[in-house]
Amino acid sequence: MGLGATDLNLLIALEALLEEGSVTRAATRLRTQQPTMSGTLSRLRRHYGDELLVRVGRDYELTPFAKALLPAVQETMRLIREAFGIDAGFDAATSDRTFSLMCSDYAMTVLHEPLRRRVHTAAPGVRLELSGLPGDMLASDRGLLRQDFVIGPLGYAFPGEHELLFRDSFVCIVDARNSRLRDGALNMRDLAEMPHVVATFPGVNITPVDRFFGELGLRRRVLVRTNGFLPLPFAVRGTDSVAVIPEQMARRFAGDDRWAIVEPPFGQVDILEGLWWHPSRAADPGHRWLLSQLRDVAAELSASGPRASAPDMHGIVREDLIALADRSH
């Protein structure tokens, strides 16, 4: 079939169907009726000899062929728009584009303010939409196709391109009136005997803190589990509990005399926050611009971030735990 026999408008529909992974969402995006989009999908299925979208439960998934086809379709559409002077580039100063970012509660807490401030200065018309991480992000690359970026712990195995965004470390947070505080400090015996409030995350069975305490042979007495880090300070408020949270988040509570931020007696344990994006977005100049803004904000956080180097206390901690191991188990 020659190019002249092909309706190039089908490319627009094909791009929407493959990016949205849904007939309904594609129809909404192109401001057309769902039956019309269903008919277009049927034409495309006949053209390619492939189902393209297959129903799984109440949603659709791309077939392997469609997943392989999507980057070529997006690049073709980019070249067509460029040839006709449509979306030929990205001018931050005049753009009114909306970017979508999916973040952990921790990433949203520490990145939201500096990122919005930087973006507003360079691109006053650009809007950011931030949302939390759903539990099904690990199942497929659908989330990455619908988002410009996903930010979360590197322990998440999201599909797509990724890089380390910034590094943090953990501190302890307790109620300021906690009776175990001595000169603003806790020791390993305290951590073994105190009740703990711990964070859980969808798709992550063992956090860095879990792993470290496990290596030490210390079984924490867990009193409360929360969804994410952000509720932890409020869960220890008015109790004798302790929580281990990222330092960058803890700084948001440091000026409040209801909480005490405590250097951990177990030394430095790192938390690595990563950035993910779908490979098909690599050619998007707006996407590259926002990536540079994120990197700059991350560099600022790193410059004012956790202790660059902390003493290796593992040996001291292990000696302290000899007498505690039997009791904690």
Of the pLDDT bands very low, low, confident and very high (cuts 50, 70, 90), residue 61 is: confident
pLDDT at 313 over 50: no
Delineate the domains of the chain, giving CATH numbers in brackets. 3-83 (1.10.10.10), 98-164+275-303 (3.40.190.10), 166-271+321-328 (3.40.190.10)
**Comparing C-alpha atoms, which of 293, 274, 23, 57 is closest to residue 144?**
274
**Rounded mean pLDDT, 5-18:** 81
Q: Residue with structure tokens 């129809």?
A: 27
Residues 236-276: pLDDT tens digits?
Answer: 999 999 999 999 999 888 888 999 999 998 888 888 888 98
Examine the pLDDT at 324 and tell me if it is beyond 50: no
Tell me the pLDDT band of 86, cut-offs 50, 70 and 90: low
| Strands 259-262 and 149-153, sheet pairing | unpaired
φ/ψ (deg, to 5) at 317 = -65, -45
pLDDT digits (tens, 9 = 90+) for 98-140: 899 988 888 998 999 999 999 999 999 999 999 887 765 555 5
pLDDT at 309: 38
Please give the pLDDT value at position 177: 94
